[in-house]
Amino acid sequence: MKRSMNSSVTFAAVGAAFTALALAGCGGESSYFTVGGQQVSKDEYIKKLERQPVSLPNGASLTTEQYVVDLIVSNRIIMAEAAKMGVTPSDGDVDMLFNAQKARFENINPGKTYDTQLAKQGISAAEMKDDIRGQLAEANVFAKLIKFNENEVKMQYTKMKDMMALPPRTQVRLILRDPKNMADSETVVKAAGTDAKKFEAAAKQLNIIPELTQTSGLRVLPNASIPKSVSSKVEAAAEGTIIGPVDWVISPTQTFRGWIRVEKKIPAFSLPPDQEMAFVRLGLIQQKAMDPANVGLRTQILKQKGTISFDTKDTGVSAVWNGIKETANEIQAPLQATGAPAGMPAGAAPAGAAPTGK
């Protein structure tokens, strides 16, 4: 699935939070957290969470509780099918994709760690690996059902490997101004001097481009995309160097003037071929699974929802499950959203997905 910071990640984060809290129990504590001195109980938190709507790729809408229950049951059905077919993903397969996601994310987002980014979404490494295991199991089951030709993986990888590589990049902190309005900014930048924190504060204060204001001017740019007006200076500068004031030419009719702090030089990056081919294989199988000729295969497997045993002492969950069974064919909630491996934070997606990390 394309796990950028979109609804797919929200599904994983909400699902993880709901499941963990549900297993922990909803009662007992008088206060789960406080807001402005006001107490919020776990009961209130869980009930609000359960009712939050989740929109599926097929246009259907569920509450979070319905989505999570259906997700867990669908996952168990697929895992059972994988076991029967002898295609259950190994720990090695799961770890390989997890480590590949981690390496790519941290290369795209210098200064950020994958584990910290997961934690911000309420996802642990173990939960992420469970997501990946489910994603791989589903792909393996489909590969069996559609008699997937594994030779396609190498052929597709050969076509895509150059696109999957990340080019040399430079992390810069920019201060871009209107060339006609530089006086005050020059005073602020001179006062900041070479102090990194003061330059960051100046970037947040002075940038006239909203996106740069939000990130305090921080960007990661492919070296080939740096304007020619400054590219040679950036290339020659050591990390920590401040360049400017200089012209930052966007187009023949648009030029900004300002300063560049070279934060980090980032070399070209590629994952090992076996990891990249694992991503390619997953993408190919998912594309074939979405082919109209193959959609019915998944529907046939998930029709087991109508007969699979489901036991719970919670009458609320039982009612939710009975409702899901009645509409099992219409809901068809994906085990994970389709695309790149499960739970991928922003900036970790393989080739073809635009990284959102700055």
Q: What is the pLDDT of residues 276-306, one digit of tens each?
A: 999 999 999 999 988 888 888 888 888 888 8
Mean pLDDT of 166-191: 92
**Beta strands of 252-321 (E only): which ranges?**
254-266
Q: What is the CATH number of the domain that holds 254?
A: 3.10.50.40
Q: Could you tell me if 229 and 303 lie in one domain?
A: no
Q: Evaluate whether residue 234 is within a structural domain.
A: yes
pTM (predicted TM-score): 0.75
Q: Could you tell me if 65 and 152 lie in one domain?
A: yes
DSSP string over 143-188: HHHTT--THHHHHHHHHHHHHHSBPPEEEEEEEEE-TT--HHHHHH
Written as six digits, the tokens of 215 are 């990130």
Q: Could you tell me if 49 and 145 lie in one domain?
A: yes
Q: Could you tell me if 281 and 142 lie in one domain?
A: yes
Written as six digits, the tokens of 217 are 């001017």
Name which of 185, 213, 181 is nearest 200 in CA terms. Answer: 213
pLDDT digits (tens, 9 = 90+) for 239-269: 999 999 999 998 889 999 999 999 999 999 9
Q: Could you tell me if 133 and 34 lie in one domain?
A: yes
Q: Evaluate whether residue 283 is within a structural domain.
A: yes
Mean pLDDT of 192-205: 95
Q: Evaluate whether residue 350 is within a structural domain.
A: no
Q: Could you tell me if 207 and 260 lie in one domain?
A: yes
Written as six digits, the tokens of 319 are 């009612």
Q: Evaluate whether residue 354 is within a structural domain.
A: no
pLDDT of 29? 53
Question: Whole-number mean pLDDT of the chain?
Answer: 83
Q: Evaluate whether residue 85 is within a structural domain.
A: yes
Among the three residues 237, 266, 295, which one is the final residue of a domain in this structure? 266
> What residues make up the domain containing 107?
7-164+270-331
Q: Could you tell me if 35 and 104 lie in one domain?
A: yes
Domain count for the chain: 2
